[in-house]
Structure 1
Amino acid sequence: PAAGQGITVVLDAGSQVPVIALAFPAPDGIAGLAGPAAEAGRELEATLRRDLERSGVFELLGPAELAVLALTGDLEKDADQYRSLGAAMLLQNELKVEDGRLVLEGRLVDLASRQTIVGKRYRGTFELARRMAHTFADEIVLFLTSRRGVALTSIAFVSDRDGSKEIYLMDYDGFDQRRVTAHKSISMSPSWSGRGDVLAYVSFFAGRGPALYLAEIASGRKTPLVTEGSLNASPGVSPDGRQVAFARALGANIEIFLCDRDGGNVRRLTNSGGIDTNPAWSPSGQEIAFTSSRAGSPQIYVMDADGSNVRRVTFQGEYSDGAAFSPDGTRLAYATRVGRDRFDIAVLDLVTLQNVRLTSGAGSNETPSFSPDGRRLAFASTRTGKPQIFVVDAQDGSGAEQLTSEGSNSAPEWSGYPR
């Protein structure tokens, strides 16, 4: 609508400061829902609130803060009451059931002009309540910031909650944790394809040394990728999904190799006297970061995707590992050792070469992975005992949130945007 075309929110990559006060009353019609519909309605409302709070765009008001208002139901009369609490926008939602399906009709209103700037209608089964909320939240964030929200993204990770290390998935907020592999062996190091439909991973399940496999998320199908050799590890799928970088043992040495999506055309990228491992692609697909001990202690290096132009990028600390590029390619997150058995997460600005440490205190923090908007960072930490997955602000490490609690959980890999 024309009334909303001039509204744009500028949000820094790491900012978690709420910038818009949003009045969010209880949805109309929710009190009239019963049984499974009522449960789905409550889940949708709670999910939508959490999504908007996590977006970094809003400070939510309601429903408790709105109880002091004498609302009439007439927006022309009520707008100034909402604004008296500091609200700049109002989110009006209505929930109802049509033909056994839940319907959400939502409107984002600019209180100054009284104009609807985002209006959407969603209809789905009760089981899709969370997805409906995620979709609406991302639509709102996209409209206001011109940047996609991350509510529909997923995080892959490794968990031993069922007795063996397997690959799992969860929604970006830690909900709906489900198993991807069931090899009853050791499976680890998940890496998303560029399209987000396939995970590459390492497993020992075939009775041989660690080999590489692909898991198709929709079908559940598992296929071998690279199985020859005594050790194949730490896969990294290229942004276009056509190639996989990985570490392979050559006698006592480990080097970085590259293969096509079908496992063919294997070629060697590194040739050093040290151990080269943990390749991570840049968003452009033109560079690969990796860990190497070629200069003594393990440090982060970056090379062109053909193995040329190798350069070291970390110089602080005696041990750096597990690099991950930010979505815009300007930063590298990695784990740096700060004690005998403890690591912290640091972020290196590749333009200024300045380092910022995001974690400190108890526990070891490892395997960072950026959200696709670059504002959040997932990693594994032992700060509460067993390794668990946490998420923090990627700019300053604030707002730590624990996403897992069952068993030991590690190696988070944040997906890109769904396509």
Structure 2
Amino acid sequence: MGLLLAVFGTLFAFPHDHGSLTAAPPETASVKTVTTAVAKELEANRSTTMLGTVNPSRSTTIGFSLPGRVQSLQAKRGTRVSSGNIIAALRTEVIQIEIAAARAQLRLVQQRLKELETGSRPEEIAEAMARRDSAAALSQKAANQLKRLKTLTESGAASVDELDVAHAEANSLEQLHQAASIAYDRIKAGPRVEQVGQAKASVDLQTEQVRLLEDRLTKHKVTAPFDGYIVEEFIEAGAWVTSGDAAVSLIDLDTVEIEVPVPADNIANLQTNQSVSIQSRGNSPRILLGTIERIVPAADPRSRTFPVLIKAKNQISKDSPALMSGMTVNVELPLGTKAKGTFVPLDALVLDNQSLSVFVLTPQTSSDASKSVTGHVRRVPVTPGVSIGQWVMIRTSDHSAIKSGDLVVTRGNQTLLDGSQVEAIVKDD
């Protein structure tokens, strides 16, 4: 079913894969093993050809989130881009300088934090200890000198003025001793927890500043949010843009939405998830399968028709889509009267250049026990019509080319050629 998913864009999930959309290789002499199903006759509404308009599944206008001067516009109108591709870029010299400065400031605050976390060096502690001990010695000397002067003053050998001077000097040196002791204790204990916390906060703040600038740098580039085509450009290299200015318009055509106006009398015949046939118009028409995704329950007041929205996988060849935005296509919708027709599984449909075909098996031998059949196949061009579940009605130029009860190949059909010899396993419904 990989081919149908790649080509037709149905929403059905199938358990096997038929491969890619490539031309069938030359057949080898070996007998190919395939899986077949039995075509059957079912009753369904006849299909009616309606005109639909192709619209992109997604469209957006991409703009700049920052002001600046445009350095380059790398994707021009009509260019196909992939998700993540750079479309346009602003000049980044100023922001690069700001990032370099912010990173340098970050290194500075990180070193300050490291210094605080490391604590005092042994040399600093030894120096503080020496200053404390020196101040203690001087304070003790002054205290002893004061004691001697008190004795001399009492005996009249020293004056009161000399005693006052000695007393003041002793007090001063004691204060210096206390200050040196406090400084020693502080250096030995290291920085306060609050200081380390403040330094950590400075590092965190500067880290976020660097991240902010780096994020702003990424916003100097406009990238594609999905695969698509540039359909309009609003800027040129060298132009100055402000925040919110548009750069380009982008549409997604890998999957398209086809809008078909359906008359009110026929809308009741449609339901979501129905498979429908789509054919492009022109000299080289393409045939695809789509799925009715939504039926808008509001009529156009002028035409009294209801919009039916069909989703289909587009065919992309050399970056050129088969269905382009605004094209009109023919859509086969089950709007007619009830009639019987030949139905085959969706897996039986094979893309052949720009048409669809079904391989029909002509049995030569069979084994009822294993439900195995050998024979050769013939290619029958078909036009798909309405669908019932996983089965689709087909039309052929020769009405007897495929009929109820015929074996049609549903797996292994991508490598077959007209007349290929096969050994087939017949699967029940």
TM range (shorter): under 0.3
Q: Which has the higher contact order (CA 8 A, sep 6+)?
A: 2
Q: Indicate the structure (1 or 2) with the bigger Cα radius of gyration.
A: 2
| TM-score in terms of structure 2 length | 0.19
Structure number with higher helix proportion: 2
